[in-house]
Amino acid sequence: MDVSVGIVERLLDLESEDLGLNLVRQLELSDLPRVTELHNRFVLDCKDKEPDVLFVGDSMVQLLQQYEIWRELFSPLHALNFGIGGDTTRHVLWRLKNGELENIKPKVIVVWVGTNNHENTAEEVAGGIEAIVQLINTRQPQAKVIVLGLLPRGEKPNPLRQKNAKVNQLLKVSLPKLANVQLLDTDGGFVHSDGAISCHDMFDFLHLTGGGYAKICKPLHELIMQLLEETPEEKQTTLA
């Protein structure tokens, strides 16, 4: 059995209650009120709003809405932002299993998570992302999924940057085997010829500046618009 396939099956087989207990143990006690409040708010948003586009993930998603480019490109698309700083793939999987995919029918779901999985191998991170996509396909079969690749991180080359690059390579192979999903490359020229990343793109060499987000969000917006405008008939023609 393929390693990533085995990981996905184990993640999808986990009972929500057991997974929730494990996640509570992973979180600092001081983080619990913040995370719980955000999750509860997201569940309420699912009941009160009708998004065409849903963003879900970690701080890379959460911080996006603080920049003008969110209001310029994504707010007009009736987008919801379900990002929580510090989340791993397992946190996102738990959230989606526990209310954040209920009472809504988004046309496009953007997934961006994995860089916080410090304790996991690249294969496990890729498997976690695949599990999220499979859950979305089950709960929201009408939705088209965009997975954003993991960004390079750290001012200079380092093991975490190498692991993120390996995750992206694994996803390039595995995601085409799943339904209704595309992987969007987030390279954006962030790594210079000398291997360094500029603070003008990532202020702490991890999180993006406004200029850094622009490099990713413009092609992302183009892809979202393409998917929103694509009718089922056009999709069949494209696949034929």
Catalytic machinery residues? 59, 204, 207
Distance of CA 206 to the CA centre of its chain: 15
Residues 6+ apart with CB under 8 A from 108: 52, 53, 54, 143, 144, 145, 146, 224, 227, 228
Q: Give the length of the chain.
A: 240
CB atoms within 10 A of CB 205: 19
Could you give the strand order of the β-sheet that contains 53-57, starting from the edge strand earlier in sequence? Answer: 79-83, 53-57, 108-112, 144-148, 181-184
Q: How many CA atoms lie within 13 A of 134 on its CB side?
A: 18
CA 149, CA 183: separation in Å to the nearest integer?
7
Residue carrying the six token digits 């192979």: 173
Which SS3 state, helix, strand or coil, does residue 104 take?
Answer: coil
